[in-house]
């Protein structure tokens, strides 16, 4: 009996991510991923029971690898809240504008009307992110650095402002990903508007 390992699981997720990005959700098969990993479908199914589950886990793995450092910026109690929000915002916007993140989001949306993949993706990733941001904002409200309001709504306002200038246009292919300097400017404007409303 073969023992599952975390290293093997992560290697499969990396291979699956690459395959999904190159071929799209529909055209990527478990056979293709098994061939790329140089193993059998039996091994692959031993880790992930379906293509949908593998896709969701790969998307979550990618998101946490990139967004984990952004959420790590949200430490309550700083005496410079604008700086904390800017540091979070720059990492957040940098990730959502990557080809990897944009490609994943497009795949989820394309499948959401045909299965529950959209809901599962939301529960696994975006909802957890919203809860993390909301918990940070709630702590800042309790400390008197932000106005009292519903933390979950305030979290949506913050992330909505950070996405407002870029995400829709990039998803539609109307704009290229912003440069590092453009991201700084986008985040600065978003944080300024957020603090004008809630500081």
Q: Examine the pLDDT at 114 and tell me if it is beyond 70.
A: yes
Mean pLDDT of 110-139: 94
Fold designation for 60-198: Tetracycline Repressor; domain 2 (1.10.357)
Each residue of 83-97: pLDDT tens digit? Answer: 999 999 999 999 999
Res. 3 pLDDT band, cuts 50 70 90? low
Give the chain's mean pLDDT: 94
Each residue of 31-75: pLDDT tens digit? Answer: 999 999 998 899 899 999 999 999 999 999 999 888 999 999 999
How far is it, in rounded angstroms, from Cα 85 to Cα 77? Answer: 12
Output the CA–CA distances (angstroms, integers) from residue 36 to 2, 26, 47, in the order listed. 20, 17, 15
Res. 113 pLDDT band, cuts 50 70 90? confident
Res. 154 pLDDT band, cuts 50 70 90? very high
Considering the entire predicted model, what is its pTM?
Answer: 0.89
Mean pLDDT of 3-32: 92
Region of 173 on the Ramachandran plot (φ > 0 left; ψ -120 to 50 alpha; else beta): left
């Amino acid at each position: 009996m073969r023992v599952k390992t975390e290293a093997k699981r992560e290697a499969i997720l990396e291979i699956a991510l690459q395959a999904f990005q190159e071929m799209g959700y529909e055209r990527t098969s478990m056979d293709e991923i098994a061939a790329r990993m140089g193993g059998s479908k039996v091994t692959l199914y031993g880790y992930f029971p379906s293509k949908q589950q593998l896709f969701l886990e790969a998307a979550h793995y990618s998101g946490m690898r990139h967004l984990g450092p952004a959420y790590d910026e949200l430490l309550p109690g700083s005496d410079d809240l604008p700086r904390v929000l800017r540091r979070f915002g720059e990492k957040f916007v940098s990730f959502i504008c990557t080809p990897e993140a944009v490609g994943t989001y497009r795949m989820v949306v394309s499948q959401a009307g045909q299965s529950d993949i959209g809901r599962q993706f939301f529960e696994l990733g975006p909802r957890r992110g919203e809860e993390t941001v909301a918990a940070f904002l709630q702590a800042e409200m309790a400390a008197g650095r932000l106005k009292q309001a519903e933390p979950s709504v305030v979290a949506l306002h913050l992330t909505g402002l950070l996405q407002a200038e870029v995400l829709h246009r990039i998803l539609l292919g109307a704009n290229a990903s912003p440069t590092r300097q453009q991201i700084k400017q986008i985040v600065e404007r978003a944080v300024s508007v957020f603090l004008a409303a809630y500081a």
